[in-house]
Amino acid sequence: MATATNSMSNSEFTATEARGAAFYTLLVMLVIVAGLGLWAAHHMDVEGHHVTGMSNQIVWGIPHVFAIFLIVTASGALNAASLSTVMGRKVYTPYARLSGLLAIALLLGGLAIITLDLGRPERLMVALTHFNFTSVFAWNVFLYTGFLVLVSVYLWTLMERRMNPLSKSTGTVLLAWRLTLTTGTGLIFGVLVARQAYDTAIMPPLFIAMSLCFGSAAYTLLLFSVFDCSGRRLDDAVVSALRRLLMLCVVGVLFFVGLLHGVKLYTPESRGIEAFLLVSGGVYPWFFWAGQIVAGSLVPLGLMLWRPTARSRSWFATACALVLLGGLAQLYVIVIGGQAYPLDIFPGRQIIESSFFDGTVAEYQPRLPEFLLAFGGVAMALLIIVLGMRVLRFLPRTRMAD
């Protein structure tokens, strides 16, 4: 019996037909930005990381914020594929292929940033051949590579008619794998006991909620962009379904963020870091309240719920963009704010402090090479998407109603 995902044949999909000046201008711009990212990585490799704003106190900077953001979003980009294949939501069926392409592109972009930020990227082979299985980072090597393989196989089952019967089983395995992948990314922070901002079991479910939220927003923006550029109109049923999904995801992220900070505030030894991140930490409370909570959560919810803007596609796209910007602000607070707060090696004990930054808030000013590398990874992901849609059949010719 045919499943929901093979109700459309390969002939009902098409590649993009863009060939004009705008298309090639976009390609050139993406290549230039990606090239600048490579130059920045080479510059940091040759000169050393002293040309960045990172230090012995802030070892993860802007590139890591963008890399984690892309990796987390890559998993959530498969929402349409999982809803279509595993849960039988036919409204998403024509668009499942595109979610797979977006997931691969975002993950490759994020991994490229991390790889090029190593300082000695040629030593990546050491990480791929020597594993410390007591480290979450070693687990993630298998999770990321397995994710790329599974998404590729999943796309094969959708694009090859004789493989269609395997699409549901492959999609089910992929759903479990992507949730595991995001859990592994959250565990990087959840088991990091040296930083008071981390070290909590709430981190993995928070990262899963973030993944679903950011992935839904990024996927919606991609659909709007592709359909607008091709002169077609996206189905109203799809837009409504994506709007409802994004609202649920935003509420889910707010719930886990409230739970995280509520638990930390309840714990006496964590009240210092909470006061730093939420009130007295300079730029970090601004990123949290103005960036994540207001601009990245409450305003998008208002745009999607308020009657004058709820049916507007342009306002919905604005809400998606704000969710993504709020996600970057959230990760900035988690990644960099968590490192900036001074280490409390012996909580509840008075110790003699040395001159090696004990009790001192670390300063961090990101510099141009970091931004170039970060945006270079984003440009690489977009370049993969543009070329993938140009070469392979990812776009539906016809529209399908639920």
DSSP state string for 282-308: THHHHIIIIIIIIIIIIHHHHHHHSHH
What pTM value is reported for the model?
0.91
The pLDDT, as a whole number, for residue 192 is 81
Helices 62-76, 368-391: crossing angle, 10 deg rounding: 30
Q: Rounded to an integer, what is the distance from CA 12 to the centroid of its chain?
A: 30
Report the DSSP beta bridge partners of residue 396: 13
Helix (H) or strand (E) run with residue 119 in it:
none
pLDDT in tens, the chain (402 residues): 344 444 566 657 777 776 778 888 999 999 999 999 999 999 988 888 889 989 888 989 999 999 999 999 999 999 988 998 888 888 888 888 999 999 999 999 999 998 888 766 677 777 777 778 778 888 888 899 999 999 999 999 988 888 888 889 999 999 999 999 999 999 988 888 768 888 888 999 999 999 999 999 999 999 999 888 877 888 888 999 999 999 999 999 999 999 999 998 888 888 888 999 999 888 999 999 999 999 999 999 999 999 899 989 999 999 999 999 999 999 999 999 999 988 766 555 555 555 556 667 888 999 999 999 999 999 999 999 999 988 888 888 755 433
| Nearest by Cα to 371 from 28, 36, 58, 59 | 36
Structure tokens at 342: 């001074």
The answer for 199, left when phi > 0, alpha when psi is -120 to 50, beta otherwise, is left
Which are the contacts of 171, defined by CB distance < 8 A and separation ≥ 6? 5, 81, 82, 84, 85, 86, 154
**Half-sphere exposure of residue 333, counting CA atoms within 13 Å on the CB side?**
27
The pLDDT, as a whole number, for residue 2 is 40
**CA distance linking residue 100 with residue 175, whole number of Å:** 12
Instruction: Tell me whether residue 122 is exposed, middle or buried, using C-beta atoms within 10 angstroms of its C-beta: 0 to 12, 13 to 18, 19 or more.
Output: exposed
Which are the contacts of 25, defined by CB distance < 8 A and separation ≥ 6? none
The pLDDT, as a whole number, for residue 231 is 77
| Architecture of the domain made up of 19-132+139-343+370-395 | Up-down Bundle (1.20)
